Amino acid sequence: MIPIKTIAFGLVAITAACGQIGDDKSVDRGVNAHHLSTMVAGIWVDPNGCDHWIIDDGVEGYADARLTPDGRPVCSGVAPPNTVIGPFQQGSPIPDTL
Amino acid sequence: MAQPNLNKMRTAIGGLLGAALLAVSLAAPAAAQDSGQVYQPTIWIDPDGCEHWVMDDGAEGFMTPNLQRNGDPVCHRAEICGVMPTDQLFATDRYEIDANGRATLENFFRSANAFGFMIYGHTDARASDEYNMTLSQNRANAVAAVAQGIGARVVDIRGFGERRPRADNTTVEGLQQNRRVEVYCLR
Protein backbone atom coordinates (compact mmCIF):
# COMPACT_ATOMS: atom_id res chain seq x y z
CA MET A 1 0.00 0.00 0.00
CA ILE A 2 1.35 3.42 -0.95
CA PRO A 3 1.62 5.76 2.04
CA ILE A 4 -0.71 8.74 1.77
CA LYS A 5 2.25 11.06 2.25
CA THR A 6 3.86 9.73 -0.91
CA ILE A 7 0.70 10.28 -2.93
CA ALA A 8 0.35 13.77 -1.49
CA PHE A 9 3.97 14.55 -2.33
CA GLY A 10 3.45 13.22 -5.84
CA LEU A 11 0.42 15.45 -6.35
CA VAL A 12 2.31 18.46 -5.08
CA ALA A 13 5.18 17.66 -7.41
CA ILE A 14 2.86 17.33 -10.41
CA THR A 15 1.12 20.56 -9.50
CA ALA A 16 4.45 22.28 -9.15
CA ALA A 17 5.54 20.94 -12.53
CA CYS A 18 2.38 21.91 -14.39
CA GLY A 19 1.00 24.86 -12.52
CA GLN A 20 3.54 27.65 -12.81
CA ILE A 21 5.11 28.06 -16.22
CA GLY A 22 6.16 31.68 -16.08
CA ASP A 23 7.13 33.97 -18.92
CA ASP A 24 9.91 31.83 -20.36
CA LYS A 25 8.24 29.27 -22.65
CA SER A 26 11.47 27.91 -24.07
CA VAL A 27 11.65 24.76 -21.95
CA ASP A 28 9.45 21.68 -21.55
CA ARG A 29 9.23 21.38 -17.76
CA GLY A 30 8.24 18.48 -15.56
CA VAL A 31 8.88 14.88 -16.53
CA ASN A 32 11.51 14.57 -19.26
CA ALA A 33 12.49 18.24 -19.03
CA HIS A 34 14.40 19.58 -22.02
CA HIS A 35 15.02 22.72 -23.99
CA LEU A 36 12.70 23.01 -26.98
CA SER A 37 15.58 23.54 -29.40
CA THR A 38 16.49 19.86 -29.06
CA MET A 39 13.26 18.45 -30.49
CA VAL A 40 13.38 15.97 -33.35
CA ALA A 41 10.94 16.32 -36.25
CA GLY A 42 9.38 14.13 -38.89
CA ILE A 43 7.47 15.25 -41.95
CA TRP A 44 3.70 15.32 -42.29
CA VAL A 45 2.41 15.67 -45.83
CA ASP A 46 -0.78 17.73 -46.05
CA PRO A 47 -3.70 16.97 -48.39
CA ASN A 48 -2.14 19.32 -50.98
CA GLY A 49 1.03 17.23 -50.97
CA CYS A 50 3.12 19.85 -49.15
CA ASP A 51 5.54 19.18 -46.30
CA HIS A 52 5.24 20.20 -42.65
CA TRP A 53 7.62 19.50 -39.82
CA ILE A 54 5.81 17.53 -37.13
CA ILE A 55 6.98 16.89 -33.61
CA ASP A 56 5.35 14.79 -30.92
CA ASP A 57 6.98 16.14 -27.78
CA GLY A 58 5.12 14.06 -25.24
CA VAL A 59 2.19 16.09 -23.95
CA GLU A 60 2.72 18.82 -26.56
CA GLY A 61 2.57 18.50 -30.32
CA TYR A 62 4.06 20.91 -32.81
CA ALA A 63 3.73 21.34 -36.56
CA ASP A 64 5.00 24.02 -38.87
CA ALA A 65 5.45 24.56 -42.57
CA ARG A 66 8.55 23.54 -44.49
CA LEU A 67 9.48 26.54 -46.63
CA THR A 68 11.54 27.46 -49.68
CA PRO A 69 14.08 30.32 -49.37
CA ASP A 70 11.39 32.76 -50.51
CA GLY A 71 8.69 31.44 -48.21
CA ARG A 72 6.68 29.15 -50.47
CA PRO A 73 5.63 25.68 -49.33
CA VAL A 74 7.98 22.78 -50.08
CA CYS A 75 5.95 20.00 -51.69
CA SER A 76 8.64 17.37 -52.09
CA GLY A 77 6.64 14.23 -52.69
CA VAL A 78 8.57 12.52 -49.89
CA ALA A 79 5.39 10.68 -48.90
CA PRO A 80 1.74 10.51 -50.02
CA PRO A 81 -0.74 13.16 -48.76
CA ASN A 82 -2.11 12.59 -45.26
CA THR A 83 0.85 10.51 -44.15
CA VAL A 84 3.73 11.08 -41.80
CA ILE A 85 7.32 9.83 -42.03
CA GLY A 86 10.48 10.13 -39.99
CA PRO A 87 11.43 10.14 -36.33
CA PHE A 88 8.77 12.58 -35.16
CA GLN A 89 7.97 10.62 -31.99
CA GLN A 90 11.58 10.16 -30.91
CA GLY A 91 11.75 13.45 -29.06
CA SER A 92 10.04 12.08 -25.95
CA PRO A 93 10.10 8.82 -24.01
CA ILE A 94 6.49 9.45 -22.98
CA PRO A 95 4.50 6.80 -24.86
CA ASP A 96 1.90 8.04 -27.31
CA THR A 97 -0.98 5.69 -26.56
CA LEU A 98 -3.58 7.33 -28.78
CA MET B 1 -31.66 58.05 -60.56
CA ALA B 2 -29.24 55.21 -60.06
CA GLN B 3 -26.22 57.47 -59.94
CA PRO B 4 -27.17 59.66 -56.94
CA ASN B 5 -28.12 56.54 -54.95
CA LEU B 6 -24.74 55.03 -55.64
CA ASN B 7 -23.06 58.23 -54.51
CA LYS B 8 -25.11 58.23 -51.33
CA MET B 9 -24.07 54.66 -50.66
CA ARG B 10 -20.43 55.56 -51.24
CA THR B 11 -20.72 58.44 -48.81
CA ALA B 12 -22.35 56.18 -46.23
CA ILE B 13 -19.71 53.49 -46.64
CA GLY B 14 -16.99 56.10 -46.48
CA GLY B 15 -18.47 57.43 -43.25
CA LEU B 16 -18.64 53.97 -41.73
CA LEU B 17 -15.05 53.22 -42.72
CA GLY B 18 -13.95 56.54 -41.26
CA ALA B 19 -15.72 55.79 -38.00
CA ALA B 20 -14.21 52.31 -37.88
CA LEU B 21 -10.72 53.67 -38.52
CA LEU B 22 -11.21 56.30 -35.82
CA ALA B 23 -12.38 53.64 -33.36
CA VAL B 24 -9.37 51.46 -34.16
CA SER B 25 -6.91 54.32 -33.90
CA LEU B 26 -8.39 55.33 -30.54
CA ALA B 27 -8.54 51.77 -29.19
CA ALA B 28 -5.20 50.44 -30.42
CA PRO B 29 -2.73 52.40 -28.28
CA ALA B 30 -4.71 51.68 -25.10
CA ALA B 31 -4.92 47.95 -25.94
CA ALA B 32 -1.20 47.77 -26.69
CA GLN B 33 -0.40 49.23 -23.30
CA ASP B 34 -2.96 47.34 -21.22
CA SER B 35 -2.62 43.75 -22.36
CA GLY B 36 0.38 41.72 -23.37
CA GLN B 37 1.27 38.86 -21.10
CA VAL B 38 4.93 38.00 -21.60
CA TYR B 39 5.35 34.89 -23.80
CA GLN B 40 9.06 34.38 -24.30
CA PRO B 41 9.72 31.94 -27.18
CA THR B 42 12.83 30.07 -28.13
CA ILE B 43 14.11 29.04 -31.54
CA TRP B 44 13.79 25.57 -32.97
CA ILE B 45 15.83 24.92 -36.11
CA ASP B 46 14.33 22.46 -38.58
CA PRO B 47 16.40 19.92 -40.52
CA ASP B 48 16.57 22.36 -43.46
CA GLY B 49 18.27 24.88 -41.16
CA CYS B 50 15.30 27.27 -40.88
CA GLU B 51 14.16 28.86 -37.63
CA HIS B 52 10.78 28.48 -35.94
CA TRP B 53 9.47 30.26 -32.87
CA VAL B 54 8.41 27.69 -30.30
CA MET B 55 6.76 27.96 -26.90
CA ASP B 56 5.76 25.37 -24.33
CA ASP B 57 2.99 26.70 -22.14
CA GLY B 58 2.69 23.67 -19.87
CA ALA B 59 0.17 21.37 -21.54
CA GLU B 60 0.12 23.28 -24.84
CA GLY B 61 2.81 23.85 -27.40
CA PHE B 62 2.96 26.54 -30.06
CA MET B 63 5.11 26.88 -33.16
CA THR B 64 5.27 29.38 -36.00
CA PRO B 65 7.98 30.17 -38.57
CA ASN B 66 10.51 32.93 -38.01
CA LEU B 67 9.96 35.05 -41.12
CA GLN B 68 11.54 38.28 -42.22
CA ARG B 69 9.11 41.08 -43.03
CA ASN B 70 9.35 40.20 -46.73
CA GLY B 71 8.15 36.65 -46.08
CA ASP B 72 11.53 34.91 -46.39
CA PRO B 73 12.16 32.35 -43.64
CA VAL B 74 15.19 32.97 -41.44
CA CYS B 75 17.50 30.08 -42.25
CA HIS B 76 21.01 28.84 -41.65
CA ARG B 77 21.30 27.06 -44.92
CA ALA B 78 23.79 24.39 -44.08
CA GLU B 79 22.03 22.15 -46.55
CA ILE B 80 23.01 24.23 -49.59
CA CYS B 81 24.94 21.26 -50.81
CA GLY B 82 26.19 22.75 -54.03
CA VAL B 83 27.04 26.23 -55.22
CA MET B 84 27.86 26.07 -58.92
CA PRO B 85 29.78 29.10 -60.11
CA THR B 86 28.02 29.80 -63.38
CA ASP B 87 31.20 31.00 -65.09
CA GLN B 88 32.23 27.35 -65.31
CA LEU B 89 28.88 26.19 -66.66
CA PHE B 90 27.68 28.96 -68.94
CA ALA B 91 29.05 31.51 -71.38
CA THR B 92 28.13 35.12 -70.60
CA ASP B 93 24.41 35.69 -71.13
CA ARG B 94 23.86 32.07 -72.18
CA TYR B 95 22.20 29.13 -70.49
CA GLU B 96 23.28 26.10 -72.51
CA ILE B 97 25.44 23.56 -70.66
CA ASP B 98 28.20 21.81 -72.61
CA ALA B 99 29.18 18.13 -72.31
CA ASN B 100 31.85 18.83 -69.67
CA GLY B 101 29.48 20.83 -67.51
CA ARG B 102 26.81 18.19 -67.90
CA ALA B 103 29.19 15.45 -66.76
CA THR B 104 30.25 17.47 -63.72
CA LEU B 105 26.64 18.13 -62.75
CA GLU B 106 25.55 14.54 -63.29
CA ASN B 107 28.37 13.40 -61.06
CA PHE B 108 27.32 15.89 -58.40
CA PHE B 109 23.65 14.89 -58.46
CA ARG B 110 24.51 11.17 -58.39
CA SER B 111 26.79 11.48 -55.36
CA ALA B 112 24.72 13.99 -53.37
CA ASN B 113 22.75 11.26 -51.60
CA ALA B 114 19.63 13.41 -51.42
CA PHE B 115 15.93 12.66 -51.69
CA GLY B 116 15.38 15.70 -53.87
CA PHE B 117 16.84 19.01 -54.99
CA MET B 118 15.80 22.66 -55.01
CA ILE B 119 17.67 24.64 -57.66
CA TYR B 120 18.05 28.42 -57.63
CA GLY B 121 19.74 30.61 -60.22
CA HIS B 122 21.41 33.93 -59.38
CA THR B 123 23.22 36.60 -61.38
CA ASP B 124 25.41 39.57 -60.60
CA ALA B 125 23.94 43.07 -60.70
CA ARG B 126 24.97 43.98 -64.21
CA ALA B 127 22.15 44.33 -66.79
CA SER B 128 18.55 44.97 -65.84
CA ASP B 129 16.70 43.26 -63.01
CA GLU B 130 14.17 41.83 -65.45
CA TYR B 131 16.84 40.47 -67.79
CA ASN B 132 18.64 38.85 -64.87
CA MET B 133 15.44 37.27 -63.54
CA THR B 134 14.94 35.58 -66.92
CA LEU B 135 18.60 34.56 -67.33
CA SER B 136 18.81 33.06 -63.83
CA GLN B 137 15.54 31.18 -64.35
CA ASN B 138 16.83 29.75 -67.63
CA ARG B 139 20.10 28.70 -66.00
CA ALA B 140 18.29 27.08 -63.07
CA ASN B 141 16.07 25.25 -65.57
CA ALA B 142 19.15 24.03 -67.46
CA VAL B 143 20.77 22.65 -64.30
CA ALA B 144 17.46 21.07 -63.26
CA ALA B 145 17.15 19.40 -66.65
CA VAL B 146 20.51 17.67 -66.06
CA ALA B 147 19.30 16.43 -62.67
CA GLN B 148 16.03 15.20 -64.13
CA GLY B 149 17.96 13.58 -66.97
CA ILE B 150 19.54 11.13 -64.54
CA GLY B 151 16.27 10.53 -62.72
CA ALA B 152 16.86 12.86 -59.77
CA ARG B 153 13.83 14.47 -58.16
CA VAL B 154 13.69 18.25 -58.58
CA VAL B 155 11.33 19.79 -56.04
CA ASP B 156 11.68 23.50 -56.87
CA ILE B 157 13.34 25.60 -59.58
CA ARG B 158 13.55 29.38 -59.50
CA GLY B 159 15.63 32.27 -60.76
CA PHE B 160 16.24 35.06 -58.28
CA GLY B 161 18.20 37.28 -60.69
CA GLU B 162 20.38 39.79 -58.89
CA ARG B 163 18.04 40.11 -55.89
CA ARG B 164 19.87 37.77 -53.52
CA PRO B 165 23.56 38.58 -53.77
CA ARG B 166 26.07 36.57 -51.78
CA ALA B 167 28.81 39.13 -52.12
CA ASP B 168 29.55 42.74 -52.92
CA ASN B 169 28.58 43.65 -56.49
CA THR B 170 31.20 46.41 -56.66
CA THR B 171 34.25 44.14 -56.85
CA VAL B 172 35.26 41.67 -59.55
CA GLU B 173 35.41 38.82 -57.02
CA GLY B 174 32.03 39.76 -55.61
CA LEU B 175 30.41 39.84 -59.04
CA GLN B 176 31.87 36.42 -59.77
CA GLN B 177 30.59 34.95 -56.50
CA ASN B 178 27.14 36.28 -57.23
CA ARG B 179 26.98 34.51 -60.60
CA ARG B 180 25.93 31.10 -59.36
CA VAL B 181 23.38 28.32 -59.25
CA GLU B 182 22.65 27.07 -55.74
CA VAL B 183 21.45 23.54 -55.13
CA TYR B 184 19.64 22.69 -51.90
CA CYS B 185 19.59 19.02 -50.98
CA LEU B 186 16.50 17.67 -49.28
CA ARG B 187 17.41 14.68 -47.18
CATH code (residue B130): 3.30.1330.60
ipTM of the complex: 0.74
Tell how many helices (H) and how many strands (E) occur in chain B.
4, 7
Q: Please count the other Cβ atoms lying within 10 Å of the Cβ belonging to residue B29.
A: 9
Q: What share of chain A is helix, strand, coil (3-state, %, to 5)?
A: 20, 30, 55
Q: Domain check: are B143 and B123 in the same one?
A: yes
b (16+ CB within 10 A) / e for A59-85: bbebbbbbbbbeeebbbbbbbeeeeee
User: In terms of domains, do B136 and B73 share one?
Assistant: no
Residue A4: the pLDDT is 47
- B59 and A74 within 8 Å at the Cβ level: the answer is no
Q: Determine the residue type at A44.
A: W
Residues above pLDDT 90, as percent of chain B:
68
* Stated length of chain A: 98
- B136, part of any domain: yes
**Same domain flag for B127 and B167:** yes
Contact call for residues A55 and A40 (beta carbons, < 8 A): yes
Determine the residue among B55, B63, B166 to mutate to test chain A binding: the one whose Cβ has the most chain A Cβ atoms within 10 Å.
B63
Q: Which residues contact A12 (CB under 8 A, 6 or more apart)?
A: none
Both B118 and B177 in one domain: the answer is: yes
Task: State how many domains chain B has.
Answer: 2
Contacts of residue A26 in chain B, CB cutoff 8 Å?
A: 40-42, 54-56
A70 with B186: Cβ contact below 8 A: no
Give the domain extent around B123: 80-186
pLDDT digits (tens, 9 = 90+) for B112-166: 989 999 999 999 999 999 999 999 999 999 999 999 999 999 999 999 999 999 9
